[in-house]
Structure 1
Amino acid sequence: MSRVLSGALMAGIGLGAVWLGGLPFHIFVALLSAVMVWELARMTGAGERALWPALGAGAAMLVAGEIPGGFALPLLIAPGLFRAEGMRGNRTQYAIFTVAIMIAGYGLMFLRDEFGFIWMAWLALLVVATDVGGYFAGRIIGGPKIWPKVSPKKTWSGTVAGWVLAGAVSIPFVTEKAGVGWELLGIAVALSMASQLGDVAESALKRRSGIKDSSALIPGHGGLLDRFDSMLGASIFLLLIEQIVDFPPPPIL
């Protein structure tokens, strides 16, 4: 019951923030980024000192969302350069994951600001569909594991099912009014793959750190990194897609 309630609460808060957009959504993303960097710092042994890099990351994200992009870029990189005293493990991993969190968060703000609620909702739906398809197909069909040493529960059947469902939920978004053709299905599958890579990358980090969950903040779910790892991968890849193809189109709403 606690898992269902906490999941519903997270979904409600997230949907409300996305709908509002603007500064409320920027604050929401900054808070998420701060908490994820806090979890990351604790995973590397910072303990109580994890608060300081988290506050710095959250502040940097909030400022980055309110200034021109060229000036925002250094703020997205800077949090990865600073480590709290007492951190152990691979410094490169900490830096890469912190910068990934910052770039992904900025990407979400950019998507909502420039392309509207509909395409932000599409991205979230696509990521959820990938996770749901992977979970149920993996349990029902089973079969060979895709990467047993890193994520022993993930199967090829679940992976492919995630791609298929991500494409399926994107079909209603193929409309002449929005200026989007069937190429959207290829984009959806690519983003589904990217979301799965985000999930696998976080699993590898947790395995290296010897922990099951990034934290115990969310009853029944673990930490924010456990819930948003797939979105991080998809958001970063969407920023790349925007440089390659003419997508997303102008806002519908």
Structure 2
Amino acid sequence: MPPDSGGVRQRDPALATRLLSAAILIPVSLFLLWNGGLPFTAYCAAFAAAMAWEWMRMADRDAPTRSYAIASAAASGAVLFAADGEFFWMLAWPLAGAAGVIFAGNLEIARRWRGAFGIVYVALAVSALASIRALNGFNAAVFILLIVWAADSAAYFAGTWLRGPKLWPSVSPNKTWTGLIAGLAGGSAAAWGFSQWQDLPVGGTILMGLILSLAAIGGDLAMSGFKRMFGVKDTGEIIPGHGGVLDRVDALMAACLMALGLSTLNVLQGPL
């Protein structure tokens, strides 16, 4: 990832392409989310397979074909189990896939964790979204997406246009404290709006939105760290203006895992 020119982030020349990609993907995603059932599960499984494939290419470019196949099958299979409420197999399936990649990989033993970790992370993150949609309903899944989109957009535009001091320049030179604050504010505002729309407890919903916003920003930052560790700029090239699927959903992955945890613990009064 190249450093900023003169230490100041420039306005994004790919903004128009990003907006066009979002204008296509968001309606499709929302339609399938609203429909639920097998169509949405298949959509999630397809994305999980693509994400696992991207992770393997990022983590070990010389991995054998069987490693890619194992990764994609493990991630997509976990989603199918999650949507059916089979949580034992949702966990066991990607763990078995991770073990398979460890034994099939080309990296030295000390570095084979790269592919294995990615399979488990991708599988559980996408499974969390599929599980929440299947068990908690449309509104719960929409809430997660709304918070992530609001936090991600606010952080992106504030960081790009307002700039400010760097958040963690050694990991991601483009992220700023301004973006972090704006992202938390944007996610919290979206949570407040959702509470008014759905007549939910305001305090619990806003707190939940704040936690998910923080998780989303952390997931984005974590993916930047992984890309820097593996020496790549983007995880792929499938989405114009965004790079790979992992580049587009890095914030959503962490937020979904956090949402599943909040839903399981049931400690806050809100949409989950």
Trace 1:44-59 onto structure 2 (pairs within 5 A): 44-46=60-62, 49=65, 50-59=68-77
153-162 or 1-10, larger mean C-alpha shift: 1-10
Gaps of 5+ in 2: 1-15
Q: Partners of 1:178 and 1:247 in 2: how far apart?
A: 12
Contact 2:133–2:140, Cα closer than 8 Å, also in 1: yes
Q: Partners of 1:96 and 1:247 in 2: how far apart?
A: 32
Cα 1:182–1:40 shift into 2, 3 Å: same
1:174 aligns with 2:195: yes
Q: Partners of 2:72 and 2:86 in 1: how far apart?
A: 23
Q: Partners of 2:258 and 2:78 in 1: how far apart?
A: 21
Letter in 2 for 1:231: L
195-204 or 85-94, larger mean C-alpha shift: 85-94
131-140 or 46-55, larger mean C-alpha shift: 46-55
Q: Partners of 2:25 and 2:231 in 1: how far apart?
A: 27
State the Cα RMSD in Å. 2.3
Cα 1:34–1:105 shift into 2, 3 Å: same
199-208 or 38-47, larger mean C-alpha shift: 38-47
Q: 1:35 aligns with which of 46, 50, 70?
A: 50
Letter in 1 for 2:88: G
Gaps of 5+ in 1: none
Report what 1:92 is aligned to.
113
Letter in 1 for 2:92: P
Q: Partners of 1:138 and 1:246 in 2: how far apart?
A: 30
Letter in 2 for 1:59: G
How far 1:220 moved relative to its partner?
A: 1.9
Q: Partners of 1:98 and 1:56 in 2: how far apart?
A: 7
Q: 2:36 aligns with which of 21, 27, 30?
A: 21
Q: 1:205 aligns with which of 210, 215, 226?
A: 226
Cα 1:58–1:4 shift into 2, 3 Å: same
Question: In structure 1, the residue corresponding to 2:157 is in which secondary structure?
Answer: helix
Report what 2:95 is aligned to.
77
1:2-50 Cα deviation digits (max 9, x unpaired): 5443322221221121011111111111111110000011112245612
TM-score by length of 1: 0.89
50-59 or 154-163, larger mean C-alpha shift: 50-59
Identity of matched residues, %? 33
Contact 2:235–2:243, Cα closer than 8 Å, also in 1: yes
What is the total number of aligned residue pairs between the two structures? 250
1-10 or 30-39, larger mean C-alpha shift: 1-10
Report what 2:267 is aligned to.
245
How far 1:95 moved relative to its partner?
A: 2.3
Q: Partners of 1:96 and 1:85 in 2: how far apart?
A: 13
Q: Partners of 2:88 and 2:140 in 1: how far apart?
A: 24
How far 1:76 moved relative to its partner?
A: 3.8
223-232 or 45-54, larger mean C-alpha shift: 45-54
Contact 2:63–2:105, Cα closer than 8 Å, also in 1: no
Contact 2:47–2:245, Cα closer than 8 Å, also in 1: yes
1:104 aligns with 2:125: yes
Question: In structure 2, the residue corresponding to 1:154 is in which secondary structure?
Answer: strand
TM-score by length of 2: 0.83
Q: 2:207 aligns with which of 158, 169, 186?
A: 186
76-85 or 218-227, larger mean C-alpha shift: 76-85
Letter in 1 for 2:117: I
